[in-house]
């Protein structure tokens, strides 16, 4: 009786552990996207020409970085894939996105 319950319960516990681990990995990747967007927006707001490179360096692997400069703001969007674990990759894959906006310093100071 205990053997049958273990045979059913153990795979469920392993699946739960895998799902929880994937959730932690996805949360970490989302935090990296947010940080990368902030780094890129800060660099773009200062007028640095390497804002995309800075954001890409801080972003998770495979991320796409877009910089949009308006008259008085710099907006950076980071989008990264987060595949699911193992055979559940197709079902659990998500796309993580983060956006940060900074006031352009060259416009505020009147230097440009």
What is the tally of structural domains in the chain?
A: 1
- What is the pLDDT at residue 81? 93
| DSSP reduced 3-state for 20 | helix
- What is the pLDDT at residue 85? 78
- What is the pLDDT at residue 112? 52
Q: Which domain holds residue 31?
A: 2-109
Edge to edge, the sheet with strand 64-69 lists 64-69, 73-82, 94-103
Question: What are the residue ranges in the chain where pLDDT is below 70?
Answer: 1, 108-112
State the angle between helix axes of 51-58 and 2-46 in degrees (0 to 180), rounded to the nearest 10. Answer: 160
State the Cα–Cα distance between residues 39 and 70, nearest whole angstrom.
18
């Amino acid at each position: 009786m205990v053997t049958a319950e273990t045979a059913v319960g153990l795979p469920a516990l392993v699946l739960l552990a895998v799902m929880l681990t994937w959730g932690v990995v996805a949360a970490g990747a989302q935090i990296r996207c947010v940080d990368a967007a902030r780094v890129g927006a800060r660099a773009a707001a200062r007028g640095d020409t390497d804002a995309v490179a800075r954001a890409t360096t801080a972003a998770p692997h495979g991320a796409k970085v877009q910089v949009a400069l308006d008259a008085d703001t710099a907006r950076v969007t980071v989008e990264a894939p987060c595949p699911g674990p193992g055979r559940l990759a197709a079902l659990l894959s998500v796309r993580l996105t983060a956006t940060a906006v900074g006031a352009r310093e060259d416009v505020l100071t009147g230097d440009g």
